[in-house]
Structure 1
Amino acid sequence: MASNSDHTSHSSNTVSSTDESASSESGGRPELPEECRSQPGTDHYAATVELPVSIDEAFAYHERPGCLNRLTPPWESVQVEHSDQSLAPGSRVVLKTKIAGIPVRWKARHVWYDPPHGFADVQDSGPFARWAHQHLFESLDSNRSQLTDAIEYKLPAGVAGKVFGSGKARRTIEAMFAYRHRVTQDDLQMMADYPMSPKTIAVSGSSGLVGDALCTTLTLLGHKVMTITRGDHGDEGSIAAWGDPAEFEKFESVDVVVHLAGKSIASKRWTPELKEQIRESRVEKTQALCEGLAKLQTKPPVLICASATGIYGNRGEEVLTETSPDGDDFLADVARPWEDACQPAREAGIRVVNTRFGIVLSPKGGALQQMLLPAKMMGGKLGSGRQWWSWIALDDVVGAIVHCIQKEETNGPVNFVSPEPIQNREFAKVLGEVLNRPALFPAPAFALRLALGEMADSLLLASSRAVPEQLQQTGYKFRFTDLKECLRTLLGKDLKPATQATA
């Protein structure tokens, strides 16, 4: 997996939609259709990224279900409303997005398909007067390839659109493809770093922030994903682990179980009833799952079970590793039996990893999503601001889970945090800088306690200076170790490919 310094793009010569190398009429390859050929009065953009896998593997990644969702920038308000899950000519995609707050449907159609050399799509209706996008793949050697995204576009409203919108459109396109290329390069570097035969991986909590990203990425890497549901019966793609006992036999064909399900701890103020629901959803469900896995004739070799750095409690300046003692607050009292509930699986010979998540960063959900509005309103530190926050980018959560699946030496508790925890006041300052807003207005501790009760002390004011000792000792390479770079990438601020070609 590439580290922060490994992200490089390589410029190509200007790629126009009439480039014969894109269609290569010789050799029986399909000719580029008229819809993709250059028209007068349009703008062109192209950028190229080198990929650490063969051309066939690079193309296969883009062809698998979920690729569009995976490569959609998280700061964009975009939803896939419909997809034929195909790149073949005639297949269609409908996206829901917003332009200046106005809902827009973007309808696109694939018009050219030449595996593994490329594919192309055009806009049928949407925010542009014209949009034609070629995805061009080239082999560099048996283990390296490159991808060029070549766009021909035209803004609506004629001269006025070009005068007033061209700068914003170009910056948006640059940021989008800088993000897409980084994610593609990182994911395929992960494929190269962790070569695995296709596995069947069962995931609970698949609709959550981590679960959704994990299921999509595993599918793009060529694995079969089955969801673990709470219903009475599953289907061919799911397992009702806490329903019909006969359903449990499906785990016999599973290679890895990833158990992420649990009631949200931050959805509303804690009451005695809610605290019991939080505990039950983690401890009792995990206990039942692990007891069932232990009884199987053919057991999954690996169980990855969620946990949290909340197990350490409020520890001030103390640096916390996986061997640090537990805390004594509510979250610690949940996490401790949560991890202990995996004991039946351990005793049955299943390798168990307890992923102690820190603050998972993504604008799509979780803490960062909730912090964005206050930060844009120049909100600052919480309480004293001296409390340590252990954070991790969502993509590193996914990457570290893949690492733990493959690395047999990972076992027991593993801190899922970046190597550089940061104090809350510095976190607020960095977020403000990325958003171009000063972090001026602190939130006093008494006000947070008044609004949130016990939750304020456990989630916002507690200090947890956890470090990822196990991940680092077993060789995991983080995508993000610098908070500012992480936030810039997640929020699309000042992102540009290292090099690009334009016309």
Structure 2
Amino acid sequence: MTRTVVIAGASGFIGSYFTRRFLEEGWQVRTVGRDVSADAQWHDDGGITKSLDGAELLVNLAGRSVNCRYDERHRREILDSRVLTTRALGRAVAACAEPPRTWINSSTGTIYRHADDHPQSEASGELGTGFSVDVARAWEDELAAAVAPDTRKVALRIAIVLGAGGVMSPLQNLARLGLGGHMGPGTQKFSWIHVEDLFRVVLFVHQRAELTGPVNAATPYPVDNRELMSLVRQSMGVPFGIPTPAWLLEAGAVLIRTQTELVLKSRWVEPRKLLDAGFAFEHPTLADALNDIAKQVPKPSLP
């Protein structure tokens, strides 16, 4: 019997990767999104319910990119793209005659405070403050509020996802331009996960009914920003990189319409539940992950 997964938000970097990998693993894939190519669109509750009915697994990756300035319009778009889509899925799951066994809903490791003193696990981690944390709380609250007695709901607090695309593209571009030095103090922690390991985490969580509540999805071996940029340069074959002080990052962020939080916040996320359950990372160290990713990216030509 063919297993069916529904991926909401399948058109993005992670969603596209997941779609390909689930198909390679023999799953039937249905999608929910804004594109006309999706099996169901967000405005169609009946279509979403039809897609979910009889599916084994629901994976919600929907959410507007946070790589922008946090003005009023973008704040509303970021919040709504997470909360309202989760709410729509909750209505659809409740209406299913045969609802999914597992609902894995994206959340973010950014929910934890700026941490440069010790890692933040699911049990001992301290939640932070500010807009990004407020969004993460609202996101998880919406999942918790969904009425789905026959569906196990898991909020996956995902660290920065690395792969051929996504966040790697701007970092690699900086390295190519000789600007791949450390950013700000360089001591801020960088928690991350390879996109293939994130896919494997989703399957792992689905297969283990004992995993409930929020689950941190991050490698157990984070690095600081200084080591991150050094390894990016090495993987790209670039011998040097000029550091960028915090004041210059602030000025540059305004010009390119983004937020310095994305590189200056110290994210130290510990995947305690995954480790205790026996999950083994395929790409546990950043050097290995970046070398794997670099194989898919042309190296710059140097004089």
TM-score for both structures, normalised by structure 2: 0.90
Measured after TM superposition, the shift of residue 387 of structure 1 is: 0.2
Distance 1:374-1:247 versus aligned 2 partners, 3 A rule: closer
- Contact persistence 1:381–1:439 (CA under 8 A): no
Structure 1 CA distance, aligned partners of 2:43 and 2:264? 36
From 63, 85, 102, the equivalent of 1:302 is 102
Structure 2 CA distance, aligned partners of 1:327 and 1:439? 35
For residue 216 of structure 2, what is the aligned residue in structure 1?
Answer: 415
For residue 466 of structure 1, what is the aligned residue in structure 2?
Answer: 269
Where does the alignment leave 5 or more consecutive residues of structure 1 unmatched?
1-196, 494-503
From 61, 80, 90, the equivalent of 1:260 is 61
Rg: which structure is higher? Answer: 1
Structure 2 CA distance, aligned partners of 1:329 and 1:349? 34
Q: Does 1:199 align with 2:3?
A: yes
- Contact persistence 1:290–1:343 (CA under 8 A): no
Measured after TM superposition, the shift of residue 382 of structure 1 is: 0.6
For residue 487 of structure 1, what is the aligned residue in structure 2?
Answer: 290
Q: Does 1:429 align with 2:218?
A: no
For residue 225 of structure 1, what is the aligned residue in structure 2?
Answer: 29
Where does 1:278-289 land on structure 2 (aligned, <5 Å)?
Answer: 278-289=78-89
Measured after TM superposition, the shift of residue 481 of structure 1 is: 1.0
The amino acid that maps onto 1:488 is: N
The amino acid that maps onto 1:258 is: V
Aligned residues: 292
Where does the alignment leave 5 or more consecutive residues of structure 2 unmatched?
297-303
For residue 388 of structure 1, what is the aligned residue in structure 2?
Answer: 189
The amino acid that maps onto 2:4 is: T
Q: Helix, strand or coil: the match of 2:105?
A: strand
From 166, 171, 175, the equivalent of 1:371 is 171
Measured after TM superposition, the shift of residue 455 of structure 1 is: 5.0
Distance 1:431-1:371 versus aligned 2 partners, 3 A rule: same
Structure 2 CA distance, aligned partners of 1:486 and 1:285? 31
The amino acid that maps onto 2:233 is: G
Measured after TM superposition, the shift of residue 306 of structure 1 is: 0.6
Q: Helix, strand or coil: the match of 1:262?
A: coil
Measured after TM superposition, the shift of residue 293 of structure 1 is: 1.1
Q: Identity over aligned residues, as a percent?
A: 28
- Contact persistence 2:46–2:92 (CA under 8 A): no
Structure 2 CA distance, aligned partners of 1:221 and 1:347? 27
TM-score for both structures, normalised by structure 1: 0.55
For residue 44 of structure 2, what is the aligned residue in structure 1?
Answer: 243
Q: Does 1:312 align with 2:112?
A: yes
Q: Does 1:405 align with 2:206?
A: yes
- Contact persistence 1:241–1:248 (CA under 8 A): no
For residue 215 of structure 1, what is the aligned residue in structure 2?
Answer: 19
- Contact persistence 2:60–2:104 (CA under 8 A): yes
- Cα deviation, 1:123-143, whole Å, max 9, x if unaligned, reads xxxxxxxxxxxxxxxxxxxxx
Structure 1 CA distance, aligned partners of 2:184 and 2:145? 41
The amino acid that maps onto 2:96 is: L
RMSD after superposition: 2.1
Distance 1:376-1:479 versus aligned 2 partners, 3 A rule: same
Q: Helix, strand or coil: the match of 1:459?
A: helix
Structure 2 CA distance, aligned partners of 1:347 and 1:223? 23
From 322, 327, 334, the equivalent of 2:128 is 327
From 269, 274, 277, the equivalent of 2:69 is 269
- Contact persistence 2:49–2:95 (CA under 8 A): no
Structure 2 CA distance, aligned partners of 1:465 and 1:247? 36
Structure 1 CA distance, aligned partners of 2:128 and 2:242? 31
Measured after TM superposition, the shift of residue 471 of structure 1 is: 1.3
